Amino acid sequence: MAIDPEFYKGIKSLVLLDLDDTVLDPTKQCSPRLVPSLQLARANGHLLGWASSTSDKGLLNWESLLGFPRGLLTVRLSEDGVRITGPPGMLPDNGNSSRSNLVLLSDLDRCRTQVAALRSAVQSAAGRARWAYSEQHPSTWAMRAGPQGPGHPAIVVVDVTRVASFTCEVRAIDPTNGSLSTNRDLTKLAEGWVRDAANRIGVPTKLLESGHGWIDLPHPTARKEVAMLALRDLVPPHVGLTLVGNGVNDVVRMDGVKLVAVQNAAAKLKAAAHLVTRASFSDGVIEYLESLS
């Protein structure tokens, strides 16, 4: 079954809400004013969808609260890649008449090669270092490098902990006791060390949130952004596409897709509500988005 043009009649945009790093119980994050705003999406000519690598339970909680039919549009990440599902007529059918279904397979080997190269580059940059595989934490390599003491942390790089999102975790080891440090300054130092090494070997990285230890390895076939680009080629040209996620506050336009990043889960919900209703929320989030739009 092909896309049904009638499905998109009166629809101005599709707003995909990234549910990762969002509390699965929406009642803990939705203010009384926010829920009605999100419920107005369709009436205002917008479709809301979900992007998630969390459990189905989280999606069901949100769909139940907002009164949406299950699977209006869902982008799910898994080790197999990116799976996009929607109701009949929304996407090209893969043979299942009850649900449109599009699968983008991941090139996992390429990501693993990037991580291996990154690990080697950090090891080289640190001079004499020893990598040790941790049986307690599979896919973790701990490196004790250089002199130990303040300003000279060892680094832990977690090899593809979330395969579909191609994110590596960087943590400093506290030189005083050898444990993983929760010190933001040490973590920032470790982040900078890994990113510098990545730059030297040409591995693209994106810092997700400074001091939290998450570094993104952008990958052309296994990202939510790529799912949005795939949708851009599928939905009618008049339908705008926006992905609302979290990270450093920013709005990026990429090949007809708007990527909105805000600081935290609550801000994601407010940003989505603003996009579908243009309602104002007086906490600086919407004002910031407007300044970048």
DSSP per-residue codes, 210-249? TTS-EEE---TTSSHHHHHHHHHTTS-TTSEEEEEEESSS
Q: How confident is the model at residue 135 (pLDDT cuts 50, 70, 90)?
A: very low
pLDDT in the model for residue 219? 56
Once rounded to an integer, what is the mean pLDDT over residues 14-41? 68
14, containing H or E segment: strand 13-18
The domains of the chain, with CATH numbers, are: 5-106+222-292 (3.40.50.1000), 108-216 (no CATH)
Contacts of 117 (CB under 8 A, 6+ apart): 201, 203
Share of the chain above pLDDT 90, in %: 1
pLDDT in the model for residue 133? 39
pLDDT in the model for residue 97? 45
51, containing H or E segment: strand 46-52
pLDDT in tens, 78-127: 555 567 777 777 877 655 444 455 555 555 566 667 767 776 776 665 54
pLDDT in the model for residue 65? 64
199, containing H or E segment: helix 184-201
pLDDT in the model for residue 98? 47
Selected residue with higher pLDDT from 135 and 68: 68
pLDDT in tens, 257-268: 887 877 776 777
pLDDT in the model for residue 222? 47
Once rounded to an integer, what is the mean pLDDT over residues 179-204? 78
Selected residue with higher pLDDT from 157 and 249: 249
- Report how far residue 251's alpha carbon sits from residue 253's, in angstroms, rounded to the nearest whole number: 7
Selected residue with higher pLDDT from 209 and 166: 209
Q: Residue 49 corresponds to which tokens in the numbers above?
A: 């969808």
Once rounded to an integer, what is the mean pLDDT over residues 230-240? 83
* pLDDT of residue 46 exceeding 50: yes
pLDDT in the model for residue 218? 65
Bridge partners, residue 168, by sequence: 215
Q: How confident is the model at residue 161 (pLDDT cuts 50, 70, 90)?
A: very low
* pLDDT of residue 9 exceeding 80: yes
* pLDDT of residue 152 exceeding 50: yes
